[in-house]
Structure 1
Amino acid sequence: MLKQYGHFINGAFVAPLEGEYFESHNPATLETLYEAARGSAADVDAAVEAARRAFENPAWRRMSQTKRGHLLRRLGDLIGENAEELARLETQDNGKLLREMRGQLASVPEYYYYYAGLADKIQGSQIPSNSPDLLNYTQREPLGVVGAITPWNSPLTLTTSKLAPALAAGNTIVIKPSEYTSRTILRVAELTVEAGFPDGVVNVVTGFGAEAGAALVANTTIAKISFTGSTATGSAIAASTAARFIGSTLELGGKSPNIVFEDADVANASMGVVAGIFAAAGQTCIAGSRVFAHRSVYDELLERVSERAKSIVIGDPMDLSTELGPLAFADQRDKVDSYVSLGVSEGANVLTGGTRPKLELPGYFYSPTVLTDVDNSMRVVREEIFGPVAAIMPFDTEEEVLALANDTEYGLAAGVWTKNLSRAHRMASRLEAGTIWVNTYRAMSPMSPRQGFKNSGVGIEHGMESVNEYTRLKSVWINTDEGPVADPFVMRG
């Protein structure tokens, strides 16, 4: 009999109010893994109410910032102690390589440690005043109940990017994970109770975006929505939150350029291109899917990347020799396939890949694909595919590639490969993206802020700046002069 998971509300698992569950499947083997509660608006309301009560409870509201930091550190410890279990659960849920998940689980606790250290560094400041009798200072306060909607491609890491700073700032939270990846988020919610967080501080409602996700966004108690996912959904969330005058942090799509100049170490650059688009089967918002190579090194780079793509070991993500696992679900595999077909119809050449490989496993696999004879006007180059598909194009000058790289509605990340230090700084300054990597790709740290430009989102995740996203700023004025007010119709200042 399949295991059933309820929602995690007020410190315990509870059955869905409408009694409905949905199945989750292993994308590599297609076996049914478990059933998760299908969240309704009523379930969301119950979770938000639990979070509201927890926010107002002195056990949380009056807890010192330092104590909140201690709880975050303990949660990081528990995630580290359960890292192997969490890595395996996530690999089974979304098909990410077990070896990659083990690497992620080695770093996830560091996020909690980082925000644990920041918890008692959230502070205001004293503001100079024109009058010696007026004391003006600021203080930062938690927002209240935060809603987090998280994706299927990196659920643990991307949920941590929201959960850790929200808790450090003193908020409570309701998380709606992707319907494809519920288990690890439910397990972390359990660990928050073991770590000592009061009941109701962290709640999880599982289910579908159009049902549970929409209800979370619409709930009028929610003080902020933090979302990672598609630009279209992010736009709808932004409209909804703006209409209610609450904040939103939105990490959305990308079509990131990876630029290789003539003076680059081509061997290293080719590995950076491979890492940028084929790691995680291309299912990452920062995927370097548009590759620009200087014409003098274009042929060499193309050969190196295509040969490595052909040799990538595709198979069971639980096998440590596997280099490329499945896409997370059937619709995503079909979307990638349809984009490659679209590219061909637009005139692209499939240099390698472009097929569903024949394997013993029945899952949603797709071959690493390299497209040539492409340009920036093609849909396959302009639109996010979210799969292992690289479009590689030549360029001649720095100004030309800058124009091409910036000619996109997205602005999440970019890569630059060059030995010229001056050029590296010029490119970093002029590329329209929130993260720029030079002679590397996919480097990440909880200490380094991430922000999307243009249609890649609003708000900041990671770094000290992200904590402020979960606070509101209050300005306090105190008149220390106990004498009479000289003129009640003159503004003090």
Structure 2
Amino acid sequence: MDLSNRLNDPALFKTQSYINGEWVGGDASFAVDNPANRQTLAEVSDVGEAGAKAAVTAAAEGFRVWRKTSPFERTRVLLKWLELIQEHTDDLATLITAEMGKPWREAKGEIAYGAGFVEWSAHEAARIHGETLPVPAPGARGWTIRQPVGVVSCITPWNFPAAMITRKAAPALAAGCSLVIKPAPETPLTALALAELADRAGFPKGTFNVICGDAAKLGPVMTGSPDVRMIGFTGSTEVGKLLMRQAADGIKRVALELGGNAPFIVMDDADLDAAATGVAQAKFRSGGQTCVSPNRIIVQDSVADAFIERLEAKISAVKAGDGFDTESDIGPLIHDEAVERVDALVKQAVSGGARIVVGGQPLADELGGSFYAPTLIDGGSFDLEIARSEIFGPVASVYRAKDEEQILGLANDTPYGLAAYLYTRDMGRVHRMSEGLDYGMIGVNAPMVGSASTPFGGVKESGIGREGGKWGVEEFTELKYVLLAGVNS
């Protein structure tokens, strides 16, 4: 695919931050590289601490305007942003593939997924309301009001550089909040393109800000400024804990979507072909670099060999390659350090008794970038690091277990609780096991759990709060109670 036209479009390809309706540079810059070939795509300005402060100040001023804007006007502007995102799907997908590496058709799917949150949230703007309440005082009336929380700092990851922004920004804007968005340094170009489209959509100055630069300088402003009232973050549990500690000084609200260690459970009555297809879809999406990616595939003993045979055929057919190659099923990992980490996990698993069925090695020499072979591992101990932490790579690791009780114990033996998958045709098992799994989302005979209309989020160390549906919008509101006395006096 020829990138020259899209990637050189000056109207879309931005390398400066967007603050208070203007494009702003900094004194330093950082490189954005294509992980498929290690070529530099752009040098992006680092606005530093001064830029972060300017963005927060602009957002505080923008909030004063946007919070008073009619919800119907907020709907109109959000729908205009949606229209522009959909119109530029190919451009945005090209940026995602270039800076993150996922296959172009998958990147287009991400744009559609992310656009769904804009559409849903746009219509939710006019559905934010309170309730009339019974009160004990004679002649009095009570009611609740939902109002926007204020300036929101959004810190987003590289694995879904468009959707993780729209999933936070759209509901916050629908609620009447203003934003300061910091994208990951690996993938700022998509975020800046979304800011360009937001500018064209007509958001008031200061309402929508995107800043790029060193997290060590930008982060303390985004979490510490008294003008910021909420922090929305998607990323690692380690960083989430740090942000939560920083937010504590100002008693700021947090919405955290953090790490996962998803079990994919295959019971002895499951449709094994459907389960193998489900693993292939869920595990290798974004090259395994998703927080809901199956990490531990737990299969009931009696069907384990038959399931592994089916899964081996699926994984053997997965082709790694440049995301702009139409024959590629998965792209590169985000950088060489990620490849080294995944390879170390695989080697440790083998030393711990696991068997490599397919793959098991980096592909840098063959493909010239940060690639790792689609891999299937059979066996090994649950005490191994590969079973205890996120793999974040194209490695499916299968474990065997005896019965429901043992499987639930193994599945829940983790500090994480984001997503889990269960394949069974027994409705009794569906209820028992879905209620017994300590996870925020359960996919039963379904390899995908997220949508714009449903709640997305986890329990335990996988986060706080929910994104999506009415719950996603309510996260960005404060509930206020009003008591009016003497109505009938």
TM-score (norm: length of structure 1) = 0.94
Equivalent residue runs for 1:162-241 within 5 Å: 162-241=168-247
Take 1:337 and 1:189, find their aligned partners in 2: how far apart are those partners?
37
Name the SS of the counterpart of 2:54 in structure 1. helix
Instruction: Write the distance in 2 (CA, Å) between the matches of 1:134 and 1:247.
Output: 32
- The runs of 5 or more residues in structure 2 that have no matched partner are 1-6
Identify if the C-alpha distance between structure 1 residues 124 and 350 changes in structure 2 by more than 3 Å, giving closer, same or farther.
Answer: same
Q: Is the 2:157–2:183 contact (alpha carbons within 8 Å) kept by the matching residues of 1?
A: yes
Aligned structure 1 segments of 4 or more residues deviating by more than 4 angstroms: 1-4
Matched, 1:462 2:468: yes
Q: What's the % identity of the aligned pairs?
A: 38
Distance 1:453 1:348 in 2: 30
Counterparts of 1:212 and 1:93, CA distance in 2: 22
User: SS at 1:293's partner residue?
Assistant: strand
What residue is the counterpart of 1:30 in the other structure?
A: 38
Amino acid at match of 1:8: Y
Q: How does 1:416-431 map onto structure 2 within 5 Å?
A: 416-431=422-437
Tell me how far 1:79 sits from its aligned partner: 0.2
What secondary structure is seen at the aligned counterpart in 2 of 1:370?
strand
Contact 1:257–1:288 (8 Å) recurs in 2: yes
- Structure 1 residue identity aligned to 2:90: E
Show the counterpart of 2:93: 87
- Does 1:339 pair with 2:345? yes
Q: How does 1:345-384 map to 2 (within 5 A)?
A: 345-357=351-363, 361-384=367-390
Instruction: Tell me the secondary structure at the aligned position of residue 264 of structure 2.
Output: strand
- Describe the shift of the 1:380–1:475 C-alpha distance in structure 2 as closer, same or farther (beyond 3 A): same
Match of 1:249 among 252, 255, 277: 255
Instruction: Tell me what 1:5 maps to.
Output: 15
Q: In the alignment, which residue of structure 2 is the partner of 1:487?
A: none
Does residue 41 of structure 1 match 2:49?
yes
When the two chains are superposed, the root-mean-square deviation of aligned CA atoms in Å is 1.7
Aligned mate of 1:56, from 64, 74, 79:
64
Per-residue Cα deviation, 1:260-303 (whole angstroms, up to 9, x for no partner): 11111111100111122122111000011100111111011112
SS at match of 2:205: coil
Alpha-carbon spacing, 1:481–1:5, altered in 2? closer, same or farther (3 Å): same
Which deviates further from its counterpart, 116-125 or 271-280? 271-280
Match of 1:127 among 105, 130, 133: 133
| CA distance in 1 between partners of 2:237 and 2:450 (Å) | 22
Q: Counterpart amino acid of 2:469? A: G
- Asked if the contact 2:141/2:487 (under 8 Å) is kept, the reply is no
1:291-330 mapped onto 2 (5 Å cutoff):
291-330=297-336
SS across alignment from 1:155: coil
| Structure 1 position 116 matched with structure 2 position 122 | yes
- Conserved 8 A contact 1:76-1:108: no
- Say if 2:178 and 2:208, in contact at 8 Å, map to a contact too: yes
Deviations 1:31-53 (A, max 9, x none): 11011112311110000001111
Deviation for aligned residue 1:4: 6.7
Kept in 2: contact 1:11–1:190 (CA 8 A): no
Query: What per-residue deviation string (whole Å, max 9, x for no partner) do you get for residues 306-356 of structure 1?
Result: 232222111111112111110011221221112222223333222222201
Answer yes or no: is the 8 Å Cα contact 2:348–2:384 preserved in 1.
no
Q: Give the TM-score of the pair, scaled to structure 2.
A: 0.95
Tell me the alpha carbon deviations over residues 385-418 of structure 1, each in whole angstroms, 9 at most, x when there is no partner.
Answer: 2111222011121111011111111100011111
Count of aligned pairs: 479
